[in-house]
């Protein structure tokens, strides 16, 4: 799901707007490192460090990263959602929320040390991973908040999903198929998330079409 990329993939998620759009401060007499511009979006920029960080996160979690253009597109979508969420004064996730997200992600690996080794090998610190997860929660929860009220699912849709998708998938794996009543609530939530994703995707496509986004080629970065 597109909106779920903010949550799992979904991303060089900053703690606040423009947080990565700064010049690194070096000691007096030392050369300063200026972050490269990956894309210009309205009056703001997406930086090469954001692209690298999202790529490293994807590599850590999925074992591979998307192309530079795909990552820039994802960062542009995040820029759009973050602007709407900030304007709505949507609350940031709590420290407990972030810890739970970190523990859940770590639980997908054989051990916590394997998880740490994976993201360290990709060049990420634990602080960076937690910051990315915090932004992931912020963006995905805002999309849920914005689009869930209109994501209505009726009993006929639940029955159709059970008959056409849920039961056949279990049978194909040789698993027992529970009764519809036992899984109706789970199916309802799956369909609600689909509806949220569809609405969020349409909104992002429309919003992106109204913005001026210029991608800076790798051979012409400033």
The residues pairing with 88 across neighbouring beta strands, listed in sequence order, are none
Give how many domains the chain has, as a whole number.
1
Whether 153 maps to a domain, the answer reads no
Residue 159 placed within a domain: no
* Contact between 82 and 139 (Cβ < 8 Å): yes
Residue 137 placed within a domain: yes
pLDDT digits (tens, 9 = 90+) for 195-219: 999 999 999 999 998 988 899 987 6
pTM over cut 0.95: no
User: In whole numbers, what is the pLDDT of the chain averaged over residues?
Assistant: 85
* Domain presence at residue 70: yes
Q: Is residue 162 domain-resident?
A: no
Q: Is residue 185, in this structure, part of any structural domain at all?
A: no
Q: What is the CATH number of the domain that holds 76?
A: 1.10.4030.10
pLDDT in tens, 133-177: 999 999 999 999 999 999 999 999 999 999 999 999 999 999 999
Alpha-carbon separation of residue 147 from 62, 111, 142, 168, 214 (angstroms): 27, 36, 9, 29, 29
Q: Say if 199 falls within a structural domain.
A: no
In a domain, 198, yes or no: no
Residue range of the domain that includes 107? 3-147+206-220
Q: Quick one: pLDDT at residue 11?
A: 31
C-alpha to C-alpha distance for 74 and 86, rounded to whole angstroms: 18
Task: Please give the sequence-ordered ranges of beta strands (E in DSSP) within 42-157, or none if there are none.
Answer: 44-47
Residue in this structure with the two tokens 């999903």, named with its chain if needed: 161
pLDDT at 24 exceeding the cut of 50 = no
């Amino acid at each position: 799901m597109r909106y779920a990329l903010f949550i799992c993939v979904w991303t060089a998620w900053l703690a606040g707007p423009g947080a990565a759009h700064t010049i690194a401060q070096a000691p007096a007499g030392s050369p300063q490192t200026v972050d490269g511009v990956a894309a210009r979006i309205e009056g703001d920029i997406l930086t090469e460090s954001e692209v690298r960080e999202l790529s490293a996160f994807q590599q850590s979690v999925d074992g591979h990263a998307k192309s530079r253009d795909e990552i820039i597109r994802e960062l542009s979508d995040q820029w759009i959602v973050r602007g709407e969420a900030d304007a709505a004064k949507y609350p940031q996730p709590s420290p407990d929320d972030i810890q739970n997200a970190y523990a859940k992600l770590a639980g997908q690996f054989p051990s916590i040390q394997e998880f740490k080794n994976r993201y360290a090998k990709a060049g990420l610190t634990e602080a960076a991973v937690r910051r990315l997860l915090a932004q992931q929660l912020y963006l995905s929860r805002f999309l849920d908040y914005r689009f869930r009220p209109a994501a209505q699912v009726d009993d006929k849709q639940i029955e159709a999903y059970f008959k056409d998708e849920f039961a056949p998938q279990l049978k194909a794996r040789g698993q027992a198929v529970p009764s519809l009543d036992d899984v109706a609530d789970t199916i309802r939530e799956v369909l609600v998330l689909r509806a949220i994703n569809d609405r969020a995707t349409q909104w992002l496509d429309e919003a992106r079409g109204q913005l001026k986004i210029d991608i800076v080629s790798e051979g012409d970065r400033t």
